[in-house]
Amino acid sequence: MGETITLLSKREIEKMRQAGRLAAQLLDHLTPMVKPGVTTLELNDEAEKWTQAHGAISAPLGYHGFPKSICTSVNHVVCHGIPNAKQILKEGDIINIDVTPILDSYHGDTSRTFFVGTPSPLAKRLVEVTEKCLMEAIKTVKPGSRIGDIGAIIQECAEPQGFSVVRDFVGHGVSKVFHTAPQIPHYGKRGKGKKLRSGMVFTIEPMINEGTWEAVILKDGWTAITKDRKLSAQFEHTIAVTETGVEILTLSD
């Protein structure tokens, strides 16, 4: 945690804005494909084709050996699910799609959890609460706030609903580097942690579980699943701390 936090210049934040917009547009482009009968590999291949067509490259592809262009995390997969041809989406599934196109050297990192057909009432509530956790956390961001404030509000949003907050994966600084300082845990105490400053750019990406927060990594070395095999949802935005508050860089038009 002793790493230096880089503050981005206005020019760099404009580059991040462009990459972030592209990431949001990529998720918008994939949205109509998310339906029963589609494989996660089809989503991956369409994302790769679209990314290349827009003059960008997929950051996950080859990152520490990751074999695909996006992450597709279905139902009890917490994160880093690997798209494959045998995984066919079915009615009632939930799927998180996490994309990070690199445009002009800058990373736009965002994810959303989608319903495949009609979700169960519990799955619907989990996904809605997870998105609310993210948006409430973003509202706390401004110069002088603390990193602990972000995690605290996520816990306050999720835990009274009977859900749990994943501890093993965190938000992170992002710019020309995919993952850098600061780390942004999704649990914490108000008033603790590093102070936020204008020019900081990082992701907030809470993973909220139906049951236990504990995760297990599968043999592939990537796929993280809930220890109790219950549902997990996630939403992610890349945000910039501004002089007066916060700007979401990965908002959909």
Could you list the residues known to form a binding site, using ranges: 80, 98, 109, 172, 179, 205, 236
pLDDT per position as a tens digit, 206-248:
999 999 999 999 999 999 999 999 999 999 999 999 999 999 9
pLDDT per position as a tens digit, 81-109:
999 999 999 999 999 999 999 999 999 99
Q: Are 102 and 56 in contact (CB under 8 A)?
A: yes
Superfamily of the domain at 10-248: Creatinase/methionine aminopeptidase superfamily (3.90.230.10)
For tokens 């020309």, name the residue. Answer: 176
Q: Are 166 and 185 in contact (CB under 8 A)?
A: no
In the DSSP assignment, the letter for residue 56 is -
Could you list the residues known to form a binding site for substrate, using ranges: 80, 179
Could you list the residues known to form a binding site for a divalent metal cation, using ranges: 98, 109, 172, 205, 236
